[in-house]
Amino acid sequence: METIPSLFQQQYRSRTNDTALRVKRLGLWHEWTWGEASPVVEKCAYGLASKGLSAGEKVAIIGSNIPELYLAMVAVQALGAVPVPVHPDSNTEELISYLNNCEAKFAIVQDQQQVDALYNVIDQCKNLSEVIYYNGRGMQEYDHTHLSSFEELQVSGEKYKSQHPSLLDDTIGKITEDTDAFILYTSGVSGQERGSVHTHGSMINTAKALAEQERIRQEEQVIAFMPMSYAAGLLFTYALWLLKGFTVNCPESNETIMNDLREIGPTILYAPPHFYKQLYSEIIARSQRSSTKSFNKWFAVARGNREKFLKTGQISGLDSFWFKVGSILMFAPLKNVYGLSKLRKALTGGDIMSSEIFNFYRSIGVHLKKTYGTAESAGFICVQGPSQINSPNGEFVMGTPLPGVEIRRFEDGEIAFRGVNTFKEYYGHPNATAAVKNAEGWVRTGDLGLIDEQGSLKISGRVDSLGKFGNGDTFAPQLVENALKSSPFIKDAIAVGEGKDSLAAFLIIDSDTVGSWAETHNIRFTGYRDLATKDEVYDLVSETVNDVNSHIEQIEGKACPPIKRYLIMHREFNVETGEITRSRKIRRDVVMGKHKALVDALYSSQQAYDVTDASTGEVLATLKLKSA
């Protein structure tokens, strides 16, 4: 029987001097061997035990990916307690909600940012007795009645161990595969976040299934930059790390990720689609600023080869030769610049990636694969295989289930799964659990899809976002939105049409690629808002809108009308207004509620719409309403 603490013990006993973790601080990389990590876990576990942490109790983990928080999670689990990773940028209101829902007894945080969010509201967190911080910079004058440092925790742990030397072995021995291992919160894209309880068994068995299918090795180099609160990211950089014993590399900050990625050169990578879209946009912007046209020339060769392969399953010897030349002259240096040169495979999941971006990476030699999963599935249900990767119509094909996992489609079109990855329950919400998980163990995902004869899953959108035109025909707005976002110039899109006879769209431009394009065309602008109002920018995005309209039957079906009108928003959607989740998924109901007047304007004869400040009445921006 394997549990997370027992996996950690196996690694440090068999590979004491191998590098377990690497972290960049003040520009320098620092390594932790398994042998160096072990006493930290032990002291931390004994320190928490000395403070009264018992099996089954909850500990919030709040911060970026740093070794100390990884090892703190192992320590918590070694006591039979349950870590609850929370997004590091959560505001005070969110933290109160999360910590009260999971009944956290302690919070282990990274630094002053998280302490400040909790400092004056500890009494509003019903079970919270203490906040333990790693980096105490700036907090010397704080009242430490409910605060202590990670260093103090280690000291108290060392003392407690001398008094109770066998405690940790005893607690680890009582942990089973059915013991709760994590509470992982859902993204909240469809409403209130729920805490998915996963056992040691569901986490480890999902990691085993993924490792087996993707042939993940001990020698891998992995970079951990996704928030630990994301189920797929946690499984990839924590459960897989303990299972396979590879090295996890922690960037210095969000701002240095691209540079740190290049320095490490990961061999496998998991990231959401918006990461790959951002990288794609940066590459396009870089090519626009270049005085030569070599990128466009060689990418045309690569894209042509990809298209031929998708159509015929092969490419000619001459095409292969020119691709090898392009790889030497363009693609190998390009991948090296962005830290992709050592990459054996890259995975993406958490949202739908457009075929344009997917095929871009595949065409230049990045072995990118789509995955599908939810918080309730420990992040992974399906992974693409060769037949789905090379399908000409595979934009929404998410692959086949992992070993030990099944999928099915209910009569209403909703996809469900069950298997080794299945969550136990939503913590504190039995009715919500019963609503998605039936007596046979099938878990509803909230996603619409199809399953083909080979068992491949195709996702078309969310159940709760399915729209209906005035004539009763249904449409999946996510399909249109994804097609619009295939452009490097469009960062986000919302398609509307509920109760109408045509589609309309809200567009948010990518400020980097559009800004670079504007500079190369000598278009002056002062910022995003000014750029978004330029006629030239409307002309630029109209090319994508028209292209989507020309393929609308292939995207949505024969009964779907085209996009009739559209606008470019004066600002991006943001987390603080509730328009997007922290995983960058759009909350459609919030956006539609906040901007109902804009939707009405798009379906009127208005040519412009003034956005005003709700408190002062001042006009913030004048949006142009364009016909496609």
Q: Which two tokens stand for residue 414?
A: 């909703």
What does the mean pLDDT of the chain come to? 91
pLDDT tens, residue by residue, 514-543: 998 998 889 999 999 999 999 999 999 999
Q: Which two tokens stand for residue 90?
A: 């959560």
The residues, any chain, with a CB within 8 Å of residue 175's CB and separated by 6 or more, are 3, 5, 6, 77, 78, 80, 200
Most confident of 101-110, 282-291, 351-360, 361-370: 101-110
pLDDT tens, residue by residue, 296-330: 888 888 888 888 888 787 888 888 888 888 888 88
Cβ proximity of 409 and 426 under 8 Å: no
The confidence score (pLDDT) of residue 32 equals: 96
Residue 263: pLDDT over 80 = yes
The CA distance from 460 to 457, in Å, is 10
Cβ proximity of 121 and 146 under 8 Å: no
**Cα dihedral sign for 56, 59, 64, 70?**
negative
pLDDT tens, residue by residue, 439-451: 999 999 999 999 9
pLDDT tens, residue by residue, 472-525: 888 889 889 988 998 989 999 999 999 999 999 999 999 989 998 998 889 999
pTM of the model as a whole: 0.90
Residue 607: pLDDT over 90 = yes
Cβ proximity of 22 and 248 under 8 Å: yes
357: how many CB neighbours lie within 10 A of its CB? 22
The confidence score (pLDDT) of residue 586 equals: 84
603, 608, 610, 600: which is closest to 625 by C-alpha? 608
The residues, any chain, with a CB within 8 Å of residue 290's CB and separated by 6 or more, are none
3-state DSSP call for residue 468? strand
pLDDT tens, residue by residue, 201-259: 999 999 999 999 999 999 999 999 999 999 999 999 999 999 999 999 999 998 899 99
In this structure, the dihedral spanned by the alpha carbons of residues 7, 12, 13 and 14, taken in order and rounded to 10 degrees, is: 90
pLDDT tens, residue by residue, 53-90: 999 999 999 999 999 999 999 999 999 999 999 999 88
In this structure, the dihedral spanned by the alpha carbons of residues 270, 274, 278 and 280, taken in order and rounded to 10 degrees, is: 70
64-101 burial, b if ≥16 CB within 10 A, otherwise e?
bbbbbbbbbbbbbbbbbbbbbbbbbebeeebbbbbbeb
The confidence score (pLDDT) of residue 79 equals: 98
The confidence score (pLDDT) of residue 402 equals: 96
3-state DSSP call for residue 346? strand
The alpha carbon of residue 67 and the mean position of all alpha carbons in its chain are separated, in whole angstroms, by: 20
The confidence score (pLDDT) of residue 453 equals: 86
110, 362, 373, 353: which is closest to 254 by C-alpha? 110
In this prediction, what percent of the chain has a pLDDT beyond 90? Answer: 67
The residues with which 621 forms a beta bridge, in sequence order, are 611
The CA distance from 54 to 23, in Å, is 30
3-state DSSP call for residue 152? helix
Domains (ranges, CATH) in the chain? Answer: 4-264 (3.40.50.12780), 466-627 (3.30.300.30)
Half-sphere exposure of 65 (CA within 13 A, CB side): 26
pLDDT tens, residue by residue, 380-436: 999 998 878 877 666 668 999 999 999 999 999 999 999 999 999 999 999 999 999
Q: How far is CA 529 from each of CA 159, 329, 508, 545, rounded to the nearest angstrom?
A: 59, 38, 11, 20
Q: How far is CA 5 from each of CA 72, 84, 113, 249, 433, rounded to the nearest angstrom?
A: 12, 16, 29, 21, 28
3-state DSSP call for residue 339? coil
